[in-house]
Amino acid sequence: MGEIINIQFCKSKNEIINKLRVNRETFFELDEKTKYDYALIGDIFNEFRYDLAFLERVLDDVTQNVKEDWTFEFNIRYLRLLEAQKQYNVRGYLVKDPVVPAELKIKVFGMTVSAQANIMMGKLKRAIENTNAQSIGMGFIVILEMFSYSDVIKDYYAEEFVRSIFQNPNIESFLHQTYESFEEIEKTGLMTFIINYVATRDESLAYYFINHAHVLGEINYVLECIKSNWELYIRSEESDIFTAISNDIFMYVHEQKNNSLEPNMSVAVDRIWEAAYYAAYELGNLETFYEQVVGHDPVYVKRLGAKFENLNVDNESPEFKMHYKSIRGIIQSHFKQITDLSYQLKVQRKDDTKH
């Protein structure tokens, strides 16, 4: 019982489907060998995909009486139908049960699918351990062998595998670390990028996507969101970095005040901040730094810039040199934490220009 077999009896599958169109209860009156056939259940899901109440009863019957892996396909298909129909006809659902909201139904059944998927993954891991393949990556080749009969199950695991690949490490950070712009990725082609990236983890999975691009819908959406947020990511990272820089410099100034024997401390503090602004100027970030510390004042920033054009740190006092070098080190250490490649290169170019 439960084997994937062709129906070989006097009544054809079409005859059964025709009877089911008239009376759904006909299914539950079939003998086990006929009823629990992979191909027949597939036809029923195709023909009655809008009658979710009936399909749920069929699925309950099958999963309770068949312990074969192919039943997983129909759990997936039923979940997809639930997701496609946020509001569905619940007539025929057990009379004693309340009408279950679609969102809750999807959540609950999704947990069932996830639980079964985890059980199947246990089998997958054991199969991987027993394989003689030298390099099988994440093991998608085993999925292809185990479920060669079911595109639904293969697609499900392909989606799960690629989702895990693009979540760890964070794909947005990876792209910003690797490419100067999203346009650079598009020149290569998004599909080419995805396949090449996936191939670094699992070549069989990458090859699968060549002929099953529809599985990548979620990843394409993620990439489009990353494209739309490209500049926002840079600004957000820059803001976080300069917040950290200003906090560290405020702490540096506070420590210098506590440890200083300078009689005129206000003048000394002003010189420390002048050294900080000059360090930011030298690194090409005076305007951003000043706005973070004091506020938006382009007129004063321009005046500072003009002043610093003629400033030579070698001609300044030992104290000024010390503060300048310390604060420049603080700024540069934070710049090293920036992940965006274009921003890193911009900072590097500005630094090179100053020397």
Mean pLDDT per 10-residue segment, the chain (355 residues)? 43 84 92 90 93 93 93 92 65 42 77 85 77 74 90 93 81 87 90 90 92 89 90 87 88 82 71 86 83 83 87 86 89 82 71 56
**Interatomic CA distance for residues 296 and 82, integer angstroms:** 53
Q: What per-residue confidence (pLDDT) applies to 229? A: 92
The answer to whether residues 20 and 27 touch, using CB atoms and an 8 Å cutoff, is: yes
Per-residue confidence (pLDDT) for residue 91, from 0 to 100: 42
- The predicted structure's pLDDT at residue 43: 93
Residues 287, 291: Cα–Cα separation, whole Å: 6
Per-residue confidence (pLDDT) for residue 9, from 0 to 100: 45
**What angle (nearest 5°) sits at the alpha carbon of residue 74, between those of residues 217 and 5?**
120
DSSP 66: -
Using an 8 Å Cβ cutoff, are 93 and 53 in contact?
Answer: yes
Torsions phi, psi for 169 (to 5 deg): -80, 170
Residue 307 structure tokens: 């002043």
Domain spans of the chain, in order of start? 13-116, 131-228, 231-353
- Please tell me whether the overall predicted TM-score, pTM, comes out greater than 0.85 for this model: no
The pLDDT of residue 350 is: 60
Name which of 192, 195, 214 is nearest 205 in CA terms.
Answer: 195
What pLDDT does 221 receive? 87
Cα gap 13→7, rounded to integer Å: 7
